[in-house]
Amino acid sequence: MTNFIKKWVKKEPEGFREKVGDAFKSKAFLKPMIENAIKQIQIQVDKLDSACIRLRDKGLKIFNDIVSAIQRQDLQHASIFANELAEVRKINKMVTQAKLALEQITLRLDTVKELGDVTLTLSPAISVTRNIGSELSKIVPEAEKEIEEIGSMLSEIIVSASQTSAESIGFEAVNEDAEKIISEASAVAEQRVREIFPELPKSLTQMIGEKIPEEA
């Protein structure tokens, strides 16, 4: 009977309880870092949301300017305004895409906070921050540094997690996942821009194109 008991006692590996305890401690240690990252991302999301609203208002004003110019038969200014509207739409799409991508990163952080699997879940997010930071630098220079800081925070979380786990990174999967996040954000951003900005009637765009000679 004694040998039987000893046999089953040995089933629990030495240090098993310590390893389980370390896993819970690691999760508790990472939680404040993750929550801080979520907070910083939300600040950027709010800023980008405000920028989208300003761009929407600007775009609607330009649209009204186009209509007024056409009513006055001032097709030259109508053409100028039409080009401005196209540029505003383009910028709005970029800002909206960045905002949506950051929101996706927040969802990943929430998942990590509850379920773990830090490296696999957050590694693509770092690639995403680099991508949107580079894009936003062209239109919102101050946002690039702030988003770079978010990327650094995510890197610190991954490094801290890797010190207490055996998670590994599959770089091919990471790149594919990052591209998927950007692609989905781009598609949704395009749809939202179409919903926000009214399209000029084809008859008006044709009129502008016919009446305004192309520059040599």
User: Does the reported pTM lie above 0.85?
Assistant: no
So what's the pLDDT on residue 109? 87
Q: Residues 35-61: what's their mean pLDDT?
A: 92
Instruction: Give the domain range for residue 167.
Output: 26-198
So what's the pLDDT on residue 79? 87
Q: How far is CA 104 from the centre of its chain?
A: 6
So what's the pLDDT on residue 115? 57
In a domain, 105, yes or no: yes
User: Which of 25-39, 84-98, 124-138 is predicted with the least confidence, judged by mean pLDDT?
Assistant: 25-39
In a domain, 70, yes or no: yes
In a domain, 171, yes or no: yes
Q: Residues 42-61: what's their mean pLDDT?
A: 93
How many distinct structural domains can be found in the chain?
1
In a domain, 15, yes or no: no
In a domain, 66, yes or no: yes
The answer to whether 44 and 143 have CB atoms below 8 angstroms apart is yes
Mean pLDDT, all residues of the chain: 76
In a domain, 92, yes or no: yes
In a domain, 11, yes or no: no
CA angle 155, 114, 150 (to 5 degrees): 25
In a domain, 12, yes or no: no
So what's the pLDDT on residue 116? 61
d(C-alpha 192, C-alpha 194), whole Å: 5
